[in-house]
Amino acid sequence: MTGNIYKPHIAKIIDIKIETGDIKSFKFQFVDQAAQKEFTWKAGQFLILNLFGIGEAVFTFANPQTRNEYIECSIRKVGLVSEAVHELEIGDTVGIRGPYGNWFPFEKWHGKNLLYVAGGVGLAALRSPIEFALDTKQDFKNITILYGARSPMDLCYKDKFSDWEKVKDTQMILTADKGADGWKHKVGFVPAVLKEVHPSPKDTVAIICGPPIMIKFVLKELLDLGFTPDQIVTTLEMKMKCGFGKCGRCNVKHLYICKDGPVFTYAQLKDLPDEY
């Protein structure tokens, strides 16, 4: 990496889409077209979004590197920066620096089945790896996506599901903790549905993301199904500032989530203390 590592690329918002009540998806494009072409990342990495006059915050890429004519982020309104981002309009200027962190090791998973398990906004972190796998489907066998939320209202990326399902050997399983009128999919918690679906651990990698309580029970289910800890992969979230292991806040033991993570296998996490 050369040059000033803190200096962002200047980008403009080219599209805004409302996903749910407090989540919006933003598409950004660099002002410098050449830089946009050169800018590449791998599914699982994250970027730091700069709001000039407000500050910086970390977000994960929502689109895969195979669709890199723009950068997309799904942003939930929770803090100072994210609240300010929600105020922005198409054409507004932001800064982007990155990409940072490690990625999902798809190159190691060629020829395997992929099982994605997501809960609530956790799908935002998995969208990029899902779409990457779908775009390079020839490298993988079956893809199963299990996604649940509190209610049908809280599902993100509803409009993407039909596109995803169209890809050969891809299965979408949707569930809601509580159904609603017209809901044709499953009703129940994600771990229970996972048990019902009963995926085989043979040649399969499970990629999970969601609220901590869901992760806990999904892990238990997966282990019961016969998945080994290194077949389970997740991505962690922690307060980050710099993005490259210098500012000292996102460490779990000697590992920095921003530099050595955010993607970890359960085999790695098992040995780490519960401080994330």
Partner 1 sequence: MAYLITKENIKEVLNALIAAKTVYAPKKDAEDTVLFEKLVNASEWHGDSLLTHTTAKDKVYLQSERFFKIKKDKNGVTIEDPAEPEEIVIFGCRPCDARGFDVINKLFNWSDFVDEYYTKRMAKTTIITISCEKPESTCFCTSFAKGSPVNETGSDLLLTPLKDGKYLAEAYTEKGEKVISDNLKYFSEAAETEAKEKEAFKTASEAKIIKKLDLAAIKKLMEPAFESAYWETVHLPCVKCGACTFVCPTCYCFDITEKAFDNMNSERVRSWDTCMSEIFTRMAGGVNPRSDTKKRFRQRFMHKFNYHVDNFKEELCTGCGRCIKACPVSIDVRKVIEGIK
Residues forming the site for partner 1 (CB under 8 A): 1, 3-8, 10, 12, 31, 50-57, 78-82, 93, 95, 237-239, 241-242, 244-251, 253-254, 259, 273, 275-276
Least separation in angstroms between CB 236 and partner 1 = 10
CB contact at 8 A, 172 and 165: yes
With respect to partner 1, which residue has the nearer C-beta, 146 or 263? 263
Least separation in angstroms between CB 239 and partner 1 = 5
Least separation in angstroms between CB 113 and partner 1 = 33
What values do phi and psi take at 241, rounded to 5?
A: -125, -50
How many residues are recorded in the chain? 276
What values do phi and psi take at 146, rounded to 5?
A: -110, 120
With respect to partner 1, which residue has the nearer C-beta, 123 or 130? 123
Least separation in angstroms between CB 228 and partner 1 = 25
With respect to partner 1, which residue has the nearer C-beta, 48 or 174? 48
Nearest to 121 by CA among 47, 19, 190: 19
Helices (H), the chain: 33-38, 80-87, 122-135, 161-166, 190-197, 212-225, 257-260, 266-270
CA distances from 92 to 28, 95, 112, 217, 260 (A): 10, 10, 42, 42, 33
Least separation in angstroms between CB 53 and partner 1 = 5
Nearest to 238 by CA among 213, 212, 214, 217: 212
With respect to partner 1, which residue has the nearer C-beta, 87 or 203? 87
With respect to partner 1, which residue has the nearer C-beta, 3 or 182? 3
CA distances from 171 to 113, 147, 183 (A): 11, 11, 18
Least separation in angstroms between CB 210 and partner 1 = 14
With respect to partner 1, which residue has the nearer C-beta, 11 or 133? 11
